[in-house]
Structure 1
Amino acid sequence: MSLLAFGLNHRRAPISVLERAALDEASLAQILAAASDSPDISEHVVVATCNRTEIYAEVSGFHGAVADLTEAFTSSTGITHDDLKAHLDLHYGDAAVAHVFNVAAGLDSMAVGESQILGQLRAALARGQSDGHVGSSLNSLVQQALRTGKQVHSETGIDEVSRSLVGAGLDAAEQHVGPLADAHVLVVGAGAMSALAATSAVRRGAERLTVVNRTHERGVALAERLEGTARPLDELAEALADADVVISCTGSTGLAITLADVADAQVARGGRRQAFVDLALPHDIGQEVADLTGVVRLGLAELGELLGSSGTVPEVEQARSLVGDAVTRHLGARAASQAAPTVRALRAAAQQVVGRELGRLDQRTPDMSAEHRAEVERAVHRIVDKLLHQPTVRAKELAVDGRLGEYEDALRQLFDLHADGGVL
């Protein structure tokens, strides 16, 4: 069995596609049922949030499982085969395990380090357990990922990453355009990071706040909460021309603001200074924008440098290190467990041989005392344990290295092992 992570998320799919992929109770039940009917899927869990709809599954056949999940996904949502194929985020084997751990730690979230995903993943696991779709393998994986996610939040400062990035961006923007109290701030996007940016700008005393979002209703909700105004996406050009500071985090797979957009805004503004803060990954604002006179652009790399991390964010790097160590441990334990059936078969075969030989000894030495007989049994078992120790250790080592198959075949031939652990 291998792990498969299948679905759509903000890294590869535009918001319009994610919105169509959103699952209600009926479509979620339909996907779960279809996955259960697949002969190539033994365990599965569905994680559905505003920024991702993903299925994590233990599969025996990659191509069959992908085909079945594709059919389940398209038939239960408004996503066409072409859209799914164009934006599908697919991970298999070790990469899928690492993906689940990164998701749980908030490293794959639109707002890096957000902890809400822990509750969402825990709820998805609970549903899978209740419905009987989660077995020991997937349960172990998700539980360990959840523990690692909690460790990341308790042992690193990742909870502060988003606030630190926004703060650094606003500091740099003020240095370029002047105090926010005299500035018009435009926030493009209405997700968690955009909401944080908008809230921070207002708390710093921004003179005006405007929100532009693909889904206008969400933009209106965010703007009203902060006593700002909202404009529809088709008015982005006018909003750019009015704004002194532009903060963008849309989760779009393409550019939300291009060089041409900013050049036009600069013409309309008469060349007055503008600061652009790009909090998205991949980036929302064309990097060439920084070459325009009077314009400064700060992306995540530049903000990381401002925070003293040479282009990286220390809390994120620390979190990635913790997650990497946890993934390595889990993969090692997972691989070692794959060797368990062969090890059990080998030891069971040895016990059968020991049992038969001790039985023959009983027949040939009926006068042996119980004390001597017990000592002989202990000696025989010690010899067998020592003989099997190295083959057992080697099986686990090769499992971790992904080379167990040939060793299993060799053991079965050398020791004449049956599938049930017996010997010929």
Structure 2
Amino acid sequence: MRAAYRIAAAGRSGTPGAGEGTRPAMVGFDYRTTPLEVRERLRLSTPEQVEQWLRTEGAGSVVLSTCHRIEVYVEEAGALNGVVRSLAHRSGMSERAIRVHAVQRAGEDAARHLAEVAAGLQSAIVGEPQILGQVRDAMEMARRVRPVGGVLSALWERAVRAGKRVRAETGLGRGSPSLVRAALRRAEEGGVRWDQAHLAVVGSGSMAMLALQEALERGVRRFTVCARRPERARDAAQAVIEGRRGLHREVELRAEGLQALPAVLRAADLVVSATAAPGAVIDAASLASAAQRRNGKGALWVIDLAVPRDVEVPDPMPPGLIVLHIDDLGAGGGAFSGPPGAADLEAAHHIVGQEVAHFVEWLRQRQAAPEVVAMRRQAEEVRLAELEWALGRLDGELSPRAREVVEHLTRRLTNKLMHLPTVYLKELVAGPPRTEAQGSGGADAARAAG
């Protein structure tokens, strides 16, 4: 029996095509929308906490948790309600209380946001380089827990590529702006003299060691590292010092446990704290006592780069004590030598637009695939039925070679006739394409600079 030709265009009626719901979505809380005290309660502070949450609550998601943001990415927007419920339960806050600060994005909007984050365009200090590594680490952590879906994997690949290209092809990030550098600049502007300063670094992680490295480059030669495991902190600090050629012979380095913090504070001129502790490690009484014993040595600077905060601030604040938390640092607080140039911002947003356009096109093709496969399968059914009818009418009149040519002819005709409908169906299912220029011009540049 000859097959009926039943191919119908999908999506015209507004009913989603197969696969249309599979598009990335995210919910996020960052320094622009969410106060530090709320981020402290929401944040997954350590890799172990992230891994535990992914195993028990966040199946199939990717968590980007940094000092300035916590963002959860999923493959379908419908999963976001569960994410918000889980974060609310974990923080001890109501869903209503955290939704006030939450920003949700989906599809191209989510893709553009992640690419801008990876490129440093959404950072408090535009262009800071650490965020690209943090974006990479977020996906690696998710993959260690369980396989990550194809949509999020493709999204991450394009976002990381955008971040790399912005670093390589523009002047954004030149000079490696960072929160640590911003913090030390604030202290320098406040009168700290590096050749005479004694720096106490609390913690042994990457941020703490970056502070030590930056201070070394400014001329600091007296250090105390203070950590729960002082021998580990000493080894990490020694590796940083020995990596600066010739400096290790000039540097005075001590390592102490956290129980020695009151004495360490009294001896220091500048304290940088960056631990992953769940609460304060430097108490208000010890800080007040250290400040009162300065005896004309200038202010004691305490810079808290941790979320949740490491430093408990005395109330009232004693004279001679200056405490800066993470949200006190940024482009608006003298942390950066100047905003990025308009040309660099424009170039960075253009790169982001290119990479997002590539991802959106990949997603469009993925969404259209079931309809295209169904249409081509039905076209093949029609071809075979019509070929069978024709060969039946010519029974015995064609040589094997002639039959082969006729069959090849029908395949070629079918493929050529299906080309334009295939292209049209992809566009119909996925919606009208966006140009690379859309969303990557001056308005976005102004938003990032602000």
TM-score (norm 2): 0.58
Q: Do residues 45 (structure 1) and 66 (structure 2) align?
A: no
Change (3 A) 1:149 1:184: same
Q: Do residues 22 (structure 1) and 44 (structure 2) align?
A: yes
Q: Give the aligned partner of residue 304 of structure 1.
A: 338
Q: Which residue of 228, 253, 257 corresponds with 2:269?
A: 228
Q: Give the aligned partner of residue 394 of structure 1.
A: 424
Q: Give the aligned partner of residue 67 of structure 1.
A: 81
Contact 2:51 2:142 (C-alpha < 8 Å) held by counterparts = no
Q: Which amino acid aligns with 2:133?
A: Q
Distance of 1:279 and 1:156 partners within structure 2? 30
Contact 2:269 2:301 (C-alpha < 8 Å) held by counterparts = no
Secondary structure of 2:100's match? helix
Contact 2:25 2:77 (C-alpha < 8 Å) held by counterparts = no
Contact 1:335 1:396 (C-alpha < 8 Å) held by counterparts = yes
**How high is the sequence identity, in percent, across the aligned residues?**
25
Secondary structure of 1:8's match? strand
1:291-328 residue CA offsets vs partner (Å, 9 max, x unmatched): xxxxxx7464xx336xxx55x583x6544432221111
Distance of 2:175 and 2:193 partners within structure 1? 24
Deviates more, 1:101-110 or 1:373-382: 101-110
* Structure 1 residue 28, shift from structure 2 partner: 4.7
Contact 1:152 1:322 (C-alpha < 8 Å) held by counterparts = yes
Distance of 2:169 and 2:31 partners within structure 1? 27
Q: Which residue of 149, 156, 169 corresponds with 1:142?
A: 156
* Structure 1 residue 179, shift from structure 2 partner: 7.9
* Structure 1 residue 197, shift from structure 2 partner: 7.2
Q: Give the aligned partner of residue 255 of structure 1.
A: none
Q: Do residues 376 (structure 1) and 406 (structure 2) align?
A: yes
Distance of 2:197 and 2:23 partners within structure 1? 54
Note the aligned Cα RMSD (angstroms): 5.3
Q: Do residues 162 (structure 1) and 177 (structure 2) align?
A: yes
Q: Give the aligned partner of residue 337 of structure 1.
A: 366
Q: Give the aligned partner of residue 321 of structure 1.
A: 350
Secondary structure of 1:377's match? helix
Change (3 A) 1:229 1:353: same
Q: Give the aligned partner of residue 127 of structure 1.
A: 144
More helix by share: 1
Q: Tell me which of the two structures has the higher relative contact order, counting C-alpha pairs closer than 8 angstroms and 6 or more residues apart.
A: 2
Change (3 A) 1:17 1:368: same
Q: Which amino acid aligns with 2:373?
A: R
Q: Give the aligned partner of residue 101 of structure 1.
A: 115
Change (3 A) 1:159 1:89: farther
Q: Give the aligned partner of residue 415 of structure 2.
A: 385
Contact 1:104 1:146 (C-alpha < 8 Å) held by counterparts = yes
Q: Which runs of 5+ in 2 are unaligned?
A: 1-21, 224-257, 272-281, 308-315, 434-450
Secondary structure of 1:2's match? coil
Change (3 A) 1:124 1:148: farther
Contact 2:197 2:269 (C-alpha < 8 Å) held by counterparts = no
Q: Which runs of 5+ in 1 are unaligned?
A: 37-42, 210-216, 253-260, 270-275, 288-296, 404-424
Deviates more, 1:144-153 or 1:193-202: 193-202
Size of the aligned set, in residue pairs, is: 350
Contact 2:194 2:220 (C-alpha < 8 Å) held by counterparts = yes
Q: Which amino acid aligns with 2:71?
A: E
Q: Which amino acid aligns with 2:176?
A: V
1:374-417 residue CA offsets vs partner (Å, 9 max, x unmatched): 222222222222222112222334455448xxxxxxxxxxxxxx
TM-score (norm 1): 0.61
Q: Which amino acid aligns with 1:323?
A: V
* Structure 1 residue 5, shift from structure 2 partner: 0.9
Contact 1:248 1:285 (C-alpha < 8 Å) held by counterparts = no
